[in-house]
Chain A
Amino acid sequence: NSAASASPTCRRGGSAVTKSRLQPHRSRPLIFGSTGDSSRLHLVRLLLPLCGWPRLKEHCLASRHGRVGFRRAPSPGTWLKFGSRELIRVNFPDHLVRITREFRLKSRNFPGSASPGTWLKFGSRELIRVNFPDHLVRITREFRLKSRNFPGSASPGTWLKFGSRELIRVNFPDHLVRITREFRLKSRNFPGSASPGTWLKFGSRELIRVNFPDYLVRIAREFRLKSRNFPGSASPGTWLKFGSRELIRVNFPDQLVRITREFRLKSRNFPGSASPGTWLKFGSRELIRVNFPDQLVRITGEFRLNSRNLTRNIFTRNTTEIRVYTQNSIVFRVKNSGKSDRNSFPFPENFPDHISGFFSGTRGCSGPKKLIRAFTRKSIKNRARITKFRKKFRTSTRTAPGPVPRISDLVQFSHAPRHAAARCRHTIRHRAPPPCAAPRRRQANPCRTPSTKMAIGCNRCSCVNLSNAAAEAVFRSVTTELQVQTLNQMERMAVYQIFQLLLQNKLHFLKSINHDFVFGFVRTIDAEKDPRNLLIVFELFPLVVAEFDITRFSEDMFEVIACYFPVDFKPSASGSVTRDQLVELHSRCLSSTPIFGEFMVPLLLEKLASDLRSARLESFNLLRRAAPVYPAAVLLGYGQQLLAAFRRAMFRSAVSDEERRVALTAFAEVVARIARSDSDAGDDAESGREEFFRLLLKECRPNLRELDPNVMEATGRALESAVGVADATTRRQLVTGILPDILAGLADRKDSASKCGLLDILRRLLTASLSSYSPTSVSVELKAYLSGELESICAALYGLATAAAAESATPDSERLRLACLATMGRLCSEPGLASDEQRAGFAEHLLAELGGGRSGQQRQRLPGQPIRPIVCDYARRLAATNADEAASLINKGMLPLATEHSDFGVRADCLLLLGELCDLPESISEPLLGLLMRLCLEAGSTAEAAPTIKSRLDALCLATETSMASTNSRAREFVVGIWTSQFQQFLAAFRHYEAGGDLANAAFGCVQAFARALTAGDESTSVKSAVDWTAQQATEADFRRLHCALLFNLTPETARRHSVALLPSLASRYASDGSEFALQLYASLINKCLDYGRDPSMSPVEQIVLSDVNTLVANSNSERSAAFLAWCLKALLLSGSPLFVKLAGKTLDILRQSGEDQLAVQLAARLELLLKPCEIVLCTAAKATVGPLAGQKCLCLLLQPLLDDARQNKACLLAAISLAQTAPPELIVDYIDSLIPALMLHLRPSNSANAGLRAPILRLLETLASRQDALNAMAPRCLGDLLPRLLACLDPGADLDSRRTSARLLRRLATGGLPAAELLPHKPDVVSRLGAALNDPKRLARSDAAQARNAWFLIG
C-alpha cells in the first residue's frame, strides 16, 4: 500500500531496487544518477515509504567504506596524522615555521589596535593554541640571546615589549615557559619545604606571582577537561604538584594532551611494525622529544600493546606470580618458583570450563605448569607461545556462551616491580572487550545510530518526497540524538544542509512544530566555529527568523548569533570563505528582526566605544543596516548614548575619514528611523524624539566654532540628514535653532576657511529644509521664517562676497566668494522664497561677477573661472521653475556678455557657458545652438581674431556634445539637422585654415562632435549626404581627418553601403603616397563590410580587396605591400571573413617563395600586427567587428604552417616569431612543442649565418619565459638544450642585447619556480659561465649577469 501511494519516481525507483537486488551482477540502472554513496542514499529515499524512517536498517545506508555518505574532509589536522612518519616530519614544522614567519614579518608594523589573536589565527581550529607556545619559544630564544646585555635597572616588561602592548601580554606565557624550563633545571634539587613561589622569582616578583598561577590555572583547566577518565582519587591538583617531575610533565604538554586525543584515534590502526621511536619523532625540537615519552606514560595502553619494545619489557621481566581471580576472591596463584599446586586453588562453581581449561589442561593446553612456565621464562623465544595463548584466550572468551567473567577480572600478572605489574594489568584490560570509557563512548555515540546516519545521509537527497512523519523523524533525530558540537566539520555541515533542505521543502510542516523547531535549530547551531558552516548557518538564520515565531526564544536566538559580532576572521590563503561574505551574511542575521533591537543596541554601543577601529567600523555598518529594522523606541531609548557614540566618530578631528563617512551614513539611517517613528506611538515617543533632536542640536552647536573643516563638514552633513528626514515641527526647531548661530559665526569668524565651512553648513541646511518641503502649516511657517530671514542672510552673504572680492586673491577668499554666490543662488532659485526684486538683484550681481565686475584683475591672476558652474547651476534651477526668467537671464544677460563684452576672457567664458546650457529645454537650447553655429560661421568667414574664432568653435563643440548628452531625442534630431544643413558652409568657412593649427583642430573637434552625433542615435538620412560629401572632400589633405572622424564612427551598415565607392580611392591613395592613415581607413572599412555572417552578397568587396592586394604586391615597394597585406589580414581576421583564409594562403606563399628577399622579411615583421590589440581602428570603440576565436584561427592557419617550414626558411621562422611574440599566453602553450625545436635549431651559437635571428629568438624566449604556464610547458622540453645556448650567447662576441637577454632569461629560469631537481645539475656550469660574464666590458650586461648568477646561487 505504501508503495502504491508513493510518487511515480518512487515507484520507478522501487522497481529498480527490486530488480537490482534480484540481479546483483547487472549494472545499476541509470535512474540513480551515479554509483556509490549517492545511489545508496537514493535507495534509502525510495525505500522510505516501505520501511518508515526510524526503523530502517543500518545496512541500507552503510556505504562501501562503512561511512555515511561523505568522507571526512581533510582538515588542518592532517599534519597530526600519526602512523606516517613523513607526514609528521614534513607538515608539522612547516606549518609552524609559516606562522612564525608571518608573525615576524607583520610584527614590525603591528598596529597597536590589533590583537595577537588576529595574527596567530589559523583557521578556527583549537590548534592555534598548540602553535602559539611554539612560536613563543622561538621568541624566547631571541630574548635569551638579548638578555645578556640586560641592564639591571630595566624591568622584564621592557624586554618583552614586542611591537605593542598586547604582545607583552602574549609574551608572558612565553616568559613563563622559559621560567618553567629554568624551574625544571632547578627542580632537581628542589627542597621539599620551599614553596613554588620561591622558585618563580624572576626580576619583578609581583609580576610573576600574578601570572604564573594564571598560567597554571589555564593548564589545569585544560587538563581537567581531558582528565575525565582519570581515576577519581586523583584530582587535577595532584598533577600540578610542585617539587617533583610529575608536575612538569603535566604542565608542559597542555599541547600534548591534545595530541593524545588525535593519537588515540589513529592508534587503533597503528601498524605493528612501527617502533615507538618512530612515534616519538615529532619535529626536531628538543622540547618535543623530551615531552613526548612523558606523554606516553599517560597516553594509552594501546600504544604499549602495539609496541614490541614495551611488550618485551613486560614479559621479560621477572614475573613473580600470576593471580587468577574473580571479583574479589583469588582462585589461582602461581609463585615465581615455577612450582604450583593447582589443587590448592579450587575453581568456583560458576567458573566457566573453557577458561579454567587453560589452567587445568583439559582444553588443548598441556596444563598450568607449562603455561605458567611460559609466562615466567625470561627468554624472548617464548613470546610466540604467549601470543598464542593470548589469542586462544581471547577466542574462547568471545565464543563462550552465557555470562563470562571479564578477563580483566580473571588474570593478573604480578611482576617484581610494582609499576610493571600495574602496566601489565592495564594492558590486558585494554586487550579484552573492556568496560573502559573510551570505547563505551564510541558505542554510545549517537552519530552511529541508524536513524541519525540516515538523517545525515539525507543531505544528499532532496527532502521533497519525505512524508511529514519522516521529516519529523529526521528533524528529531538530528536535534535530539545528535550532539552536533561533537561532530566534525563535514558532519556538522551535513546537519545544516539537512536544515536547509527541510526549510526549503517542508516549511509548512515545520511551522506546525514551530517552537520545537526553533529550539532545535538554536541548539544545533550553537557554538559553530567553522567559517564554511557559518556561511550556511547565517543563510538559514534570517529564514528561520522570518518564517517562524521566535518570540519565546528571541534572546537565545540573539545570543547564539550575536556572539560572532564583530566578525573576527582572517581567511587562510587557500580558503574559499572571505571575511566580507561572513560580515555581510552575519549583519543580515542581526538585522533580520526588530526583536533583536533591544539586545543589539547595547552591544553596538559597547562596540562603538571599543578601541578597535575595525570593531567600530563594523558596528556603524551594522547600525546603518539595522536601524531601519529596529524599533524606533529602542533607538530612542539609547538616544543619548548613540549620540555620544556618533559624536566621537563624527565630530572629532582625530577620526579617520572612512570612519567619519561610515558614521555619517549610519547616523542618517538612525535619524531617519527615529523620525519615522509612529506619531501615534504616544507622547513618550514624541517627547523622546524631541529630546533626541534637541540633544543633536546641542551636539552640533559647539561645532560651529570648530576649526577642523572635516568636523564642520560632518556637522553640515549630520544636520542635512536630520533636517531632511525630520517632521515639519522638528525641522523648524532645528533650522531656527541653528541658523542664528551660523549667521553670527559668519559675522564673527575671521578666517575664510571657517566661513566657508559655515557657509557649507548653511547651504546644506537650507537645501535639506527646502527640498523636502511639503505644504503643511508648519512648513509654510518655516518657509515664511526663511523668507523673513532671507534679507539678513543675503545681506550677510553679499557682505562676505564683497569683502572676499576686495581682499587680495587667495584660494580661500575665492572659495568663500563662490560659496556665498552658490548659497545665494540656491536660495534665490527656490520658488516662492525670494521676491522678484531679490532674484533680479542676485542676477545682476551674478552677471557682474561673470563680467569681471570689480574683481576683473583677480580673474587674470587666478586661472580658471569656477563661477561658471554656479551660474550654470542657477540658470538650470531657474529654468526648471521659471523658464521665462531663465530665458531672459540668458538672452539679456549672458548673450551680450558673450558677444559684446570688451574682455576676450569674459566672452570666451560666456560662450562656453552658453554651450553648457544647451541641455536646457528646447525653447532655450535651440536658439542657443543656432546662435552659436551662426557665430562660428560668421567668425570663420569674416576672419576674425584667432582667439575669438577658437572660443566660438569650442563653445559650438561643447553645445553639440551637451545637446547630444541630453536624453531628449528631439534635441538630438535638432543637432543633426542643424549640422547637416550647415555642414557645407562650415567646411567652406574653415577649409582654408592651416592644417594642424589651433583653429583647424578646433574645427576638427566640432566635426568630430558632429560625427559622434550622427552615429550616436538612430541612423538618419543625413548620414548618407555627409558621408558622400566627405568622400568627395577626402582628396584634400587638410580634411583627411574630418573624413576619418566620420568613417571611424560609421556603423557597419553605412560603411557597407558606401564601401564600393570608397575602397578603391583609399587603396589608390595609399599606393600613391603610402599614407598609413588611408591604410587604416581601408582596413576599418573592409572589417565593417565583410561581415559575411550578416550579408552574403559581399563578393564585389571581396574582389576589390583581392585585386587591391594583388595590385599592390605586384607594383608597390616591399614595405607598403607588407603593411597593406598585414592590415588586410588583421581586418579580415577580426571580422571572421572567409577571405582571411585566402589571404593567409597568399601570405604563406609569399613567405615560402620569396625566401630571404625584402618583401618576405618585411611581411614577417609586420605579421606581429595580427594579434596585437589595436586601440584606434580595429576595435569595438571604432565600431569594428571583433569576432570570437580570432587568435586561435590565426595561430592555426598561419603559425602552424610557418613552423612546419621554419627549419628551412628563415622568413617563415621570423614570421612565426612575430606571431608568437604577440599571441595570448594561453594560446601559445599549445604550440610550444613545435615552436621550441625550431628556435633551438636556429639558436646554435656556431652558426654565424643565424646571427640575425639570435636577437628575435631570444626576445621570444624571454617573452615565453615571463609567462608562468608557458615557462612550465617549455622548460622540461628544452632546458638541457637551452642552457648551453644561452651561456654561449653571453660571450662578448654577441651583441649587447643578446647578452642581456640571455642573462635575463637565465635569471628567469632560476626564479621561475621550476623544480630545483631539474636545475641543480646545471648549476655549477651556469654559475661558472656567468662568473666569466661578470667581467663584461658593458655595465648593463654585467648587472644582468650578476642578478642571474645570484639567482642561480639561491637554487637548492
Chain B
Amino acid sequence: MDNANPVVYARTTERPITPGMLNEDLADQFDAREVFDLIRVINDPEHPLTLEELGVVSEAAVQVDDPANQISIEFTPTIPHCSQATLIGLSIRVKLIRSLPSRFKVGVRIAPGTHNSEEAINKQLADKERVAAALENTHLLAVVNQCLGEMREH
C-alpha cells in the first residue's frame, strides 16, 4: 500500500433538488457538479474510501463545456509516487464512458505537478487504443469494475 494513512476529507452533501429540476419544460445543462457527482463515488483501489473522500477528485477540477461537448478532469493522487494513479485515471475514464452521452469528448489528466510520472500517465490515459486494450484485459477490467462497484463495507 503506497499511502497507509491518507488524509480523509468530508463528503459533499447531495445536490438539492430544485423546482426547476422537476420542471419538464426546462432542459438541464450538463455542469461540473453533475460530472463530479458521477466520479466522486468511485472507490479507491486500495482504501475503502471514495475518490472524493481521499481528495483525489474535486468539483473545482472538473470543467464542462456542454455546447462544445468538452469535459476535462484533473485528479490529484494522494502521494507523488502513487502506483495506482493509472488505475484511478482509467477508472474515472471508464466511469465517464459509461455514464455520459457519447457526444462528449472527455479528457482525464493528472493535476500538474502532483505525480512523478505525470506525463507518462497522462499520455497513457489520453491514448484511446491503450484504454480500449486495457479494457480488453479481463483482469484489469475486474479491478476497474471493483472500483466502480457499490461502496464496500467499512
Q: Residues of A at under 8 Å CB distance from B? A: 105, 108-109, 142, 145-146, 149, 161-163, 1295-1296, 1311, 1331, 1334-1335, 1337-1340, 1342-1343, 1346, 1349-1350, 1353-1354
B2 part of interface (Cβ distance < 8 Å): yes
Please report the C-alpha to C-alpha distance between residue A1079 and residue B17 in the assembled complex, in whole angstroms: 36
Check if B100 is an interface residue, CB within 8 A of chain A: yes
- Looking at the assembled complex, report how far the CB atom of A534 sits from the nearest CB atom of chain B, in whole angstroms: 29
Q: Assess the B34–A1334 pair: CB atoms within 8 A.
A: no
Q: Which of B57-65, B106-114, B120-128, B142-150 contacts A (4 or more CB under 8 A)?
A: B142-150
User: Which residues does B use to contact A, with CB under 8 Å?
Assistant: 1-2, 4, 17, 21-22, 24, 27-28, 34, 37-38, 47-48, 81, 83, 95, 98-103, 145, 148-150, 152-154
Write out the residue numbers on chain B whose beta carbons fall within 8 Å of the beta carbon of A105.
48, 152-154
B28-A1334 in contact (CB<8A): no
In the complex, the chain B residue whose C-beta lies closest to that of A107 is B1
Known contacts A1338-B28, A1339-B28, A1346-B38; is-contact A163 B4 (Cβ 8 Å): yes
17 new A-B contacts at CB < 8 Å, known A1296-B24, A1334-B101:
A105-B48, A108-B47, A146-B83, A1296-B22, A1311-B150, A1331-B101, A1334-B99, A1335-B103, A1337-B28, A1338-B24, A1346-B100, A1349-B99, A1350-B98, A1350-B99, A1350-B148, A1354-B145, A1354-B149
Q: Is the interface of A mostly helix, strand, loop or mixed?
A: helix
Interface contact A1346-B81, CB-CB below 8 Å: no
Give the residue of B2, B17, B28, B145 whose beta carbon is less than 8 angstroms from that of A1353.
B145
| Bound Cα distance A1339, B17 (Å) | 10
Q: Using Cβ atoms and an 8 Å threshold, which residues of chain B touch A146?
A: 2, 83
Contact sample, A vs B, 5 pairs, CB 8 Å cutoff: A149-B81, A1338-B27, A1338-B28, A1346-B99, A1353-B98
Q: Report which residue of B34, B81, B99 has the largest number of chain A beta carbons within 10 angstroms of its beta carbon.
A: B99
Q: Which residues of chain B are within 8 angstroms of A1340 by Cβ–Cβ distance?
A: 17, 21-22, 28
A109: chain B residues at CB < 8 Å are 154
**Residue from B24, B27, B48, B81 with most neighbouring chain A CB atoms (10 Å):** B24
A-B pairs, 9 with minimum CB distance: A1339-B28, A1346-B99, A1337-B27, A1335-B101, A1334-B101, A1350-B98, A1354-B145, A1353-B98, A1296-B24
CA distance A126 to B31 in the complex (A): 57
Instruction: Kindly name the residue among A109, A1311, A1335, A1339 whose own CB sees the greatest number of chain B CB atoms within 10 A.
Output: A1339
CB contacts (< 8 Å) of B150 on chain A: these are 1311
| Chain B residue contacts of A1353, Cβ below 8 A | 98, 145, 148
Q: How far is the CA of A1349 from the CA of B153 in the complex (A)?
A: 22
Residue from B4, B34, B47 in contact with A1343 in the complex, judged by beta carbons closer than 8 Å: B34
Q: Which residues of A contact B4 (CB under 8 A)?
A: 108, 161-163
Residues of A close to B148: CB separation below 8 A: 1350, 1353-1354
- How far is A1295 from B24 in the complex, measured between Cα atoms in Å? 8
B133 CB, nearest partner CB in chain A, Å: 18
Q: Which of A1331, A1346, A1349 has the most CB of B within 10 A?
A: A1346
Instruction: Name A142's contact: one of B1, B21, B81, B152 (CB within 8 Å).
Output: B1
Taking a contact as CB atoms under 8 Å apart, the answer to whether B21 and A1339 are in contact is yes
Provide the residues of chain B in CB contact with A149, threshold 8 Å: 81
Residues of A with C-beta under 8 A to B145: 1353-1354
Are B1 and A1331 closer than 8 Å at their CB atoms? no
Least CB separation from A1352: chain B residue: B98
Q: Which residue of A lies closest to B34 (CB)?
A: A1339
CB distance from B54 to the nearest CB of A (A): 12
| CB proximity of B121 to chain A, nearest CB, Å | 16
Most buried by A among B22, B27, B98, B152: B98
Give the docked Cα–Cα distance between A1331 and B48 (Å): 29
Give the distance in Å from the alpha carbon of A161 to the alpha carbon of B101 in the complex: 45
Nearest-neighbour CB distance to chain A for B17, whole angstroms, equals 7
Shortest Cβ gap from B132 to chain A (Å): 15
CA distance in complex: A108, B49 (Å)? 11
Q: What CA separation (Å) do A889 and B153 show in the bound complex?
A: 61
Nearest CB of chain B from residue A1325's CB, rounded to whole Å: 16
Point out the residue from B21, B81, B100, B101 that lies within 8 Å of A1338, measured CB to CB: B21
Residues of A within 8 A of B21 (CB): 1338-1340
- Could you tell me if A1346 and B98 are in contact, using CB atoms closer than 8 angstroms? yes
Residues of B within 8 A of A145 (CB): 83
Nearest chain B residue, comparing its CB with the CB of A1338: B28
Task: Check B48–A108 contact: CB distance below 8 A.
Answer: yes
The CA of A162 and the CA of B2, in the complex, are separated in Å by 11
In the assembled complex, the CB of B64 is this many whole angstroms from the nearest CB of chain A, namely 12
Contacts of A1354 in B (CB 8 A): 145, 148-149
Cα distance A105–B46 in the bound complex, in angstroms: 9
Residues of A within 8 A of B17 (CB): 1340
Contact partners of B24 in chain A: CB under 8 A: 1295-1296, 1338
In the complex formed, the residue of A with least CB distance to B97 is A1353
Q: Give the complex CA separation of A1354 and B43 in angstroms.
A: 14
Chain A nearest CB from B50 CB (Å) reads 14
Complex formed: what's the CA distance from A970 to B102 in Å? 81
> Which chain B residues border A1338 with CB–CB below 8 Å?
21, 24, 27-28
CA distance A997 to B34 in the complex (A): 48
Interface centre among A108, A145, A146, by most B CB within 10 Å?
A: A108
In whole angstroms, what is the CA distance A599 to B88 when docked? 58
Complex: how many Å from CA A163 to CA B2? 12
- Residues of A contacting B102 with CB < 8 Å? 1331
